[in-house]
Each structure stands twice: as C-alpha cells, then as structure tokens.
Homo-oligomer: A and B are copies of this chain.
Amino acid sequence: MVMPLALLEKTVDKRISLLLKDSRVLEGKLTGYDEYMNMVLDETVERTAAQEERRLGTVVLRGNNVVSISLL
C-alpha cells in the first residue's frame, strides 16, 4: 500500500500539478508539506483555462483547498 503522505515525501523537489477547489491549476516544485497536506511550492505557475500562464513564485497552500495532486 502507498500512503498518500509517503508519496508526497517522494515528490519533494519534483514538479507537481495541483487542482484547487476553485478550479485553478497550479504547477510548481514541491519544497515542503505537512501532515494536513499544506504545501510549499516554488517557481509556481498558474495555468488558466485559456492556457495563459501567471507566475506566482513561492506559494503556501492550505491542504483542505487542494483537490488533487499529480506528478509531472
């Protein structure tokens, strides 16, 4: 069995894609997380539905507003 947090642990310093509750998609390098799935992303980019990009730099995300996390 693969525990969700164990998979996050293996993903540190790799780029991930996050789907947020408000339908935004963020991509960035995972630099940290905690037991609530709060996360820190570096070099974060927001992709809009129109495939535009917005650079957000370093972002702290609250875990409960993250729907899903995919590896890139």
Contact = CB atoms under 8 A, between A and B. Distances in A.
Interface of A: 1-8, 12, 20-24, 26, 31-34, 37-40, 56-71
Contact of A60 (B8, B56, B57): B8
A63 B31 CA distance: 21
A7 B23 contact: no
30 contacts: A1-B33, A2-B32, A3-B32, A3-B34, A4-B32, A4-B33, A4-B34, A4-B39, A4-B40, A4-B60, A5-B38, A7-B58, A7-B60, A8-B60, A21-B21, A21-B65, A21-B67, A22-B23, A22-B67, A24-B67, A56-B68, A57-B71, A59-B68, A60-B69, A60-B70, A61-B68, A62-B66, A62-B67, A64-B65, A65-B68
